[in-house]
Amino acid sequence: MSAKVIDGKAIAKKVRSEVAVAVAKMKEEHDYVPGLATVLVGDNTASTTYVRNKHKACQEAGIRSIGREIPADISQDDLLAIVRELNDDPTVDGILVQLPLPKHIDDEVILGAIDLAKDVDGFHPLNIGRLAMKGRDPQFIPCTPYGCMRLLKEMDVDLNGAEAVVLGRSNIVGLPMGMLLQKANATVTICHSRTKDMVEHLKRADVVIAAVGITEMVTGDMLKPGAVVIDVGINRKDDPSKKRGYRLVGDVDYDSCAEVAGAITPVPGGVGPMTIAMLVQNTLEAAEHKLSQS
């Protein structure tokens, strides 16, 4: 058996094109273009690359992006003032504060200060509560889980009554992912570092979401034949054949899992491109919501 490859790159492109069409329509009908503000504190190389990619994706979709680059020694109060200024700016629909922040700044305070209507990352506890609860809807779905759900949808995966196993319980992936799968009527188990027998759970899973950050932890022999495998991990693995000395791999051992799974995301080119696509989507949704309220 050889799994279908879930082409995150192509699906992300599709999402971005849909957003571009909607943005063009909004411009025509409302003479308005959505705007995303990014806040980058310090000069962490990875963060700088992430933020640059987010701006590029916005640009391609016709969304304005506003980049605030701030020295690493900014005080928490001054950073708060910047967030509040962006909250008040009517041309900003989404605010993204790139993590990690310098150690002297409390993430929770900064993220909690973002206007809920502009919190396109969807990490506010009120948003997470609404995401969890039956009969409630979040303002935004956190980008990575939103991307995973879109991949499942594009692959026509029937989640109703499906056995879903999420590996990892982080606030930004595992936890909201479990909530979304449960709302889609899957039976969800979240495994984590204290789980005694992860393999027992994997063996019965129709859908596996791996988001633990452990290199190639899931191998083909752990899977139920035909399972749909979504690999959120991005880990560096030594590879002397590469110029930079490593290559990127997921939490899933791709080769052995592809033999057993029904469908699987590659790393890179699976979940990664979806996260940025859904950020662009959320920025559009923020602007749509604003226009519908005015």
The residue ranges that bind a second copy (CB under 8 A) are 108, 124-136, 160-161, 163, 169-171, 175, 179, 182, 185-192, 194-196, 200-201, 204
Residue 104 or residue 192: which is nearer to a second copy going by CB? Answer: 192
Task: In angstroms, give the least distance from the CB of 223 to a second copy.
Answer: 17
How many CA within 13 A on the CB side of residue 100? 5
163: Cβ–Cβ under 8 A, 6 or more apart, which residues? 186, 187, 189, 204, 205, 206, 207
How does DSSP classify residue 37? E
Task: In angstroms, give the least distance from the CB of 201 to a second copy.
Answer: 7
Residue 195 or residue 219: which is nearer to a second copy going by CB? Answer: 195
Give the count of beta carbons closer than 10 Å to the beta carbon of residue 116.
Answer: 15
Task: In angstroms, give the least distance from the CB of 104 to a second copy.
Answer: 18
Q: Are 212 and 171 in contact (CB under 8 A)?
A: no
Distance CA 125, CA 38 (A): 21
Distance CA 140, CA 17 (A): 20
Residue 114 or residue 131: which is nearer to a second copy going by CB? Answer: 131
Q: Are 36 and 65 in contact (CB under 8 A)?
A: yes
Task: In angstroms, give the least distance from the CB of 99 to a second copy.
Answer: 13
The residues carrying an active-site annotation are 54, 98, 121
Residue 28 or residue 197: which is nearer to a second copy going by CB? Answer: 197
